[in-house]
Amino acid sequence: MKKIIEFWFDFSSPYSYIAGEHIESLAAKNDAGVDWQPMLLGAIFKASGSAPLTLRYPPLAEYAKHDFLRSARFCNVPYNPPDPFPVMSQNTARAALWIKTNQPEKMGAFCRAGMRGLFVHNAVINDIAWIENAANTCGAAGKAAAAACNDPLIKDALKQQCDTALAKGIFGGPWMIVEGEAFWGNDRLPQLDAWLAKGSF
Amino acid sequence: MKKIIEFWFDFSSPYSYIAGEHIESLAAKNDAGVDWQPMLLGAIFKASGSAPLTLRYPPLAEYAKHDFLRSARFCNVPYNPPDPFPVMSQNTARAALWIKTNQPEKMGAFCRAGMRGLFVHNAVINDIAWIENAANTCGAAGKAAAAACNDPLIKDALKQQCDTALAKGIFGGPWMIVEGEAFWGNDRLPQLDAWLAKGSF
């Protein structure tokens, strides 16, 4: 049976964006699939007593901002630092959950479009009109996906999604799980790749 | 002129150990040198409001312990988890500073021996007798290096070393600096390597 990479990410996480640009090709070359799992790192950080990198100890925040750009260059991914940052992205995550349920074949494209929207085009990706347009561009039902942002059931599903992440021991993003093995961070893609290629190591 | 990698590390830091096993060969293949810079992450964490990975949010501590082992395997480095952990290593750092001043050609060997002592042989590397023997094995003057552990001037030099690290914006280890460019963590060795090979990227 095909192995599945659970890819837990936040639309406003720089390292999630960088990893998200490569996760499909990494999966494909190892004959694996990707299960896109949006979460809100704000909720994860609150529960785990942490904070966004750019709001921590000032030298760490400075290093992180520099490393986002350098890591993007190293990984051959375009990156334009959004300002303001961090930003809200709960609507984007809700629309993604709707697409995942109703048009799963469009999920990867929408997730990548959301992160590119923020980290390449500096768009306000939490904006309902932006979401509708982005979903349409991905071939999804933009109006319905955008409407999901205000659907109490979808709001609940996103909360549930964050609780599930916490229950799995997730404390940051991107977070990849294959056959129960967890890999945290864009910089663990080489280990994930080796794990898929060898079965384990 | 030969480029120099400042390699800031703590003798009791797992990722410093893993990186330390490869830093000399990485430097050599790029025609660079290594400047070993011991520091105490305890002092760094205290100043920056952080803590050792294994004493943080429990899921993070668990992940870290698992990742130390997996990263060691991924990097082809032997690793036996020390118990207890974390441990004190200020004496080892002081002896290293003495060796660096008095027998600089033995510095790399002693630094690697100290970390291997902890992470391969589970030795009490802060023990004066262990330090004397390890220094002798590296061809250094064991008795003098061990005596330095109680020398007020060397104690002061180590405090100064930590202050210098903080002034450089260092908040974790290993921490590598080349031509003013900082790289944090064993997982940044590929970027450091690319930086040295290309001049920058």
Provide ipTM, 2 decimals. 0.95
Of A187, A80, A111, A96, nearest to A149 (Cα)? A96
Say how far apart CA B95 and CA B133 lie, in whole Å.
12
Which residue of B44, B57, B170 is the best one to mutate when testing the A interface, meaning the one whose CB has the most A CBs within 10 A? B57
The pTM is what?
Answer: 0.96
Residue that wins the pLDDT comparison between A48 and A109:
A109
Question: Chain A residues with CB-CB distance to B under 8 A?
Answer: 48-50, 57, 59-60, 62-63, 66-67, 70-71, 73-74, 169-171, 182, 184-185, 187-188, 190-191, 194, 201
User: What was the pLDDT predicted at A58?
Assistant: 95
User: What was the pLDDT predicted at A82?
Assistant: 97
Contact A50 B57 (CB under 8 A): yes
For A3, counting Cβ atoms within 10 Å of its Cβ (0-12 exposed, 13-18 middle, 19+ buried), the class is middle
By the 8 A CB rule, do A189 and A177 touch?
Answer: no
Which residue of A57, A75, A77 is the best one to mutate when testing the B interface, meaning the one whose CB has the most B CBs within 10 A? A57
Lowest mean pLDDT among A14-23, A166-175, B50-59, B150-159: B50-59
At residue A49, does pLDDT exceed 90? Answer: no
By the 8 A CB rule, do B198 and B80 touch?
Answer: no
Contact A201 B48 (CB under 8 A): no
Strand B181-184 with B175-178, pairing: antiparallel
By the 8 A CB rule, do A15 and A72 touch?
Answer: no
Contact B48 A67 (CB under 8 A): no
By the 8 A CB rule, do A171 and B59 touch?
Answer: yes
Which residue of B45, B53, B67, B179 is the best one to mutate when testing the A interface, meaning the one whose CB has the most A CBs within 10 A? B67
Mean pLDDT over each residue of chain A, to the nearest integer? 97
At residue A157, does pLDDT exceed 90? Answer: yes
User: What was the pLDDT predicted at B163?
Assistant: 98
By the 8 A CB rule, do B161 and B170 touch?
Answer: no
Which residue of B15, B63, B166 is the best one to mutate when testing the A interface, meaning the one whose CB has the most A CBs within 10 A? B63
In order along chain B (201 residues), what is the average pLDDT of each group of 10 residues?
95 98 98 98 93 91 97 98 96 98 98 98 98 98 98 98 98 97 98 94 89
Nearest chain B residue to A50 by CA distance is: B57
Contact A73 B49 (CB under 8 A): no
Provide the percentage of residues in chain A whose pLDDT is more than 70.
100
Say how far apart CA A55 and CA A62 lie, in whole Å.
10
Residues in chain B within 8 Å Cβ distance of A169 = 59, 62-63
Of A45, A102, A43, nearest to B59 (Cα)? A45
Q: Of B71, B184, B191, which is closest to A63 when you measure between CB atoms? A: B184
Of A138, A144, A143, nearest to A101 (Cα)? A144
Strand A3-9 with A32-38, pairing: parallel
CB atoms within 10 A of CB B24: 19
Beta bridge partners of residue B183, listed in sequence order: B176
Contact A184 B63 (CB under 8 A): yes
For A173, counting Cβ atoms within 10 Å of its Cβ (0-12 exposed, 13-18 middle, 19+ buried), the class is buried
User: What was the pLDDT predicted at B200?
Assistant: 85
Say how far apart CA B182 and CA B169 lie, in whole Å.
9
Nearest chain A residue to B165 by CA distance is: A59
Handedness of CA B97, B102, B108, B114 (dihedral sign): negative
User: What was the pLDDT predicted at B1?
Assistant: 79
Contact B201 A74 (CB under 8 A): yes
Cα→Cα distances A196→A122, B64, B178, Å: 34, 21, 34
The stretch A132-150 carries a mean pLDDT of 98
User: What was the pLDDT predicted at A38?
Assistant: 98
Contact B74 A201 (CB under 8 A): yes
Contact B188 A188 (CB under 8 A): no
Kindly indicate the confidence band of residue A67, based on its pLDDT and cuts at 50, 70 and 90.
very high
Of A16, A54, A52, nearest to A37 (Cα)? A16
Contact B188 A187 (CB under 8 A): yes
Q: Of B57, B73, B171, which is closest to A57 when you measure between CB atoms? A: B171
User: What was the pLDDT predicted at B199?
Assistant: 85
Residues in chain B within 8 Å Cβ distance of A194 = 74
At residue A92, does pLDDT exceed 90? Answer: yes
Nearest chain A residue to B45 by CA distance is: A57
By the 8 A CB rule, do A8 and A163 touch?
Answer: no
Residues in chain A within 8 Å Cβ distance of B50 = 57
